[in-house]
């Protein structure tokens, strides 16, 4: 069973071919980061227009790399939300047109479910139930994944998403957008204990996060000491990164324990973070929880995760109509 996955919800144009919902034959991602960078964030109108330019070449490249043709595709999975309306429409219209032309089933995929399903593409993947911690540019949410398709929200951020905190702090420090990777790289050379930034933990028994205080603390630090350079910059990055990873993993363990879930899965762009991955594994081990991490390149937006999620939905027999619309605020 060959699934084509299409993703255009934000600033990545992506297409992938996945066999039996688990084996990635090709995964092509064209990023628009260079286009949006000088604006310090994603410009919706530019995103849509660039998806329109890139989506067919990206699809063609995926078919070539997988060494298949459109005739080999059995089903089409496409992100229909949440995301930028105009950006979503580009992938959605392509998916619908292909489904009509090929006479193959179409399935709408929730982008967040796509991130959770990325773990299915790893060598080691758990079956539900498990705790799914989704940490991306727009979301920081812990779900009890009771079954594929059945998600219960256990906690989430009250203000900024973890990735948003990375991006805002990077801007304060004069680092490029998006800030996750540059901060992660600088943090490798820094001392995580150099600056004691506040931990974004509301009450200990609650499962929510808050990252705006941490961002403000970095702002105060910059106001007081100036924009750090050299070793001081690496130290601030490492200290900030430690605060984020500490808060995320502490509450993830608590959430898994409270909901009696045996395993933790990280996903979303911030799950690519080296410190978060290491600390989650260490704290999971201490707490007797199994920890599963998607491959780093499958943490950020891609088409393979959309194919993986779509294959699960179609296996339950739930195709979407050709009248399908984008749903920019679709909740999981």
Q: Whole-number minimum distance, CB 2 to ligand KG4, in Å?
A: 25
Integer Cα distance of 10 and 32 in angstroms:
9
Site membership for ligand KG4, residue 166 (CB under 6 A):
yes
Largest CA distance in the chain: 63
Options 34-42, 84-92, 156-164, 294-302: segment touching Zn ion (CB under 5 A): 294-302
Residue 83 or 126 having the CB closest to ligand KG4:
83
Residue 142 or 272 having the CB closest to ligand KG4:
272
Of the residues 21, 95, 137, 228, which one makes contact with ligand KG4 according to CB under 6 A: 137
Report how many residues bind ligand KG4 under the rule CB under 6 A. Answer: 19
Q: Whole-number minimum distance, CB 189 to Zn ion, in Å?
A: 28
Cα end-to-end distance, the chain, whole Å: 26
Integer Cα distance of 162 and 201 in angstroms:
13
Q: In the range 270-289, which residues lie near ligand KG4 by CB under 6 A?
A: 270, 272-273
Per-residue string for binding with Zn ion, 131-170, x by CB under 5 A? -----x----------------------------------
Residue 197 or 211 having the CB closest to Zn ion:
211
Site membership for ligand KG4, residue 192 (CB under 6 A):
no
Read off φ and ψ for residue 2, nearest 5 degrees: -105, 120
* Token couple for 253: 């363990």
Q: Which does 303 bind (CB under 5 to 8 A by kind): ligand KG4, Zn ion, none?
A: none
Residue 235 or 301 having the CB closest to ligand KG4:
301
Strand segments, DSSP code E, in the chain are: 2-7, 12-19, 23-31, 75-81, 106-110, 130-135, 140-147, 150-156, 263-267, 290-292
Integer Cα distance of 42 and 39 in angstroms:
7
Q: What are the C-alpha distances in Å from 119 to residues 5, 115, 130, 223, 269?
A: 15, 8, 12, 41, 13
List residues binding ligand KG4 (CB under 6 A).
10, 136-138, 163, 166-167, 178-181, 184, 268-270, 272-273, 300-301
């Amino acid at each position: 069973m060959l699934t084509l996955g299409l993703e255009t919800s934000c600033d990545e144009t992506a297409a992938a071919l996945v066999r039996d919902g688990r084996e990635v034959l090709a995964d092509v991602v064209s990023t628009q980061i260079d286009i949006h960078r000088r604006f310090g964030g994603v410009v919706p109108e530019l995103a849509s227009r660039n998806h329109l330019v890139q989506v067919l070449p990206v699809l063609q490249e995926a078919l070539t790399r997988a060494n298949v043709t459109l005739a080999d595709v059995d089903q089409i999975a496409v992100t229909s939300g949440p995301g930028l309306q105009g950006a979503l429409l580009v992938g959605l219209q392509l998916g619908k047109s292909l489904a009509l032309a090929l006479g193959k089933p179409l399935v709408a995929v929730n982008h967040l479910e796509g991130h959770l399903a990325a773990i299915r593409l790893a060598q080691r993947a758990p079956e539900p139930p498990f705790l799914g911690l989704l940490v991306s540019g727009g979301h920081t949410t812990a779900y009890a994944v009771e079954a594929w398709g059945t998600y219960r929200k256990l906690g989430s951020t009250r203000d900024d998403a973890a990735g948003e905190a990375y991006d805002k702090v990077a801007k304060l420090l004069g680092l490029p957008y998006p800030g996750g990777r540059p901060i992660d790289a600088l943090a490798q050379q820094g001392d995580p204990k150099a600056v004691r930034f506040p931990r974004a933990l509301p009450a200990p028994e609650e499962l929510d996060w808050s990252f705006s205080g941490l961002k403000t603390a970095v702002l105060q630090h910059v106001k007081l000491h100036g924009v750090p350079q050299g070793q001081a910059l690496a130290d601030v990055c490492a200290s900030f990164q430690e605060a984020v990873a500490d808060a995320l993993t502490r509450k993830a363990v608590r959430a898994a324990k409270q909901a009696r879930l045996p395993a933790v899965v990280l996903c979303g762009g911030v799950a690519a973070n080296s410190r978060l991955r290491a600390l989650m594994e260490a704290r999971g081990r201490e707490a007797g929880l199994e920890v599963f991490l998607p491959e780093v390149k499958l943490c950020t937006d891609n088409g393979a995760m959309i194919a993986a999620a779509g294959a699960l939905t179609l296996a339950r027999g739930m195709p979407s109509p050709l009248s399908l619309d984008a749903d920019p605020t679709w909740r999981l």
